[in-house]
Amino acid sequence: TPSRRHLPHCGGWHTHLHKVHIHCHCYLPPTQQAIHLGKNSSMSSNQIVRDASHAGSWYSDSKSQLNSQLDGWLAAVNQPVSCIGPQSSQEVLSDVPVPRARVIIAPHAGYSYSGPAAAWAYKFWDVSKA
């Protein structure tokens, strides 16, 4: 088991196969671990896990309630959008999500505000391309 240490907030939607873990998993290279922990850069590359700092405020602190909310937001997502372009033009500049996308820039404010939009981004992201 990795040692438990407190690290700065690492933000974002922390999911594994659309299920949220209540703990925020922050994996830092050894040199970054040394900077955050005040140790030399020769420390091992063990994973460091810290407690979620926003559970109960930005999102539910109940694992079952949080998974239920996420499942609901993901289920509400219908299909990709094919209408992104200038309002004055009928030309489609890009389908969303972009095929073969390798990253997501998704909102990560309080989930009651950003959950539906973030769910849309994550539902259509092909993680095999990341």
Range of the domain at 91: 15-129
Domain count, the chain: 1
Q: Has residue 3 got a pLDDT over 50?
A: no
DSSP SS3 for 120: helix
What confidence tier does 72 reach under pLDDT thresholds 50, 70, 90? Answer: very high
pLDDT digits (tens, 9 = 90+) for 14-67: 443 344 433 334 444 444 444 444 444 444 556 677 888 888 888 889 999 999
Q: Is 29 exposed, middle or buried (0-12, 13-18, 19+ CB in 10 A)?
A: exposed
Looking at residue 99, what DSSP letter applies?
Answer: T
The answer to whether residue 9 sits within a structural domain is: no
Q: Has residue 77 got a pLDDT over 50?
A: yes
In whole angstroms, what is the distance from residue 50 CA to residue 36 CA?
12
Q: Return the beta strands (E) in 1-130 as ranges.
A: 15-16, 19-20, 24-26, 48-50, 81-84, 94-96
Between residues 43 and 89, the one the model is more confident about: 89
The answer to whether residue 51 sits within a structural domain is: yes
What confidence tier does 69 reach under pLDDT thresholds 50, 70, 90? Answer: very high
Between residues 57 and 108, the one the model is more confident about: 57
The answer to whether residue 125 sits within a structural domain is: yes
Whether the CB-CB separation of 25 and 80 falls below 8 Å is answered with: no
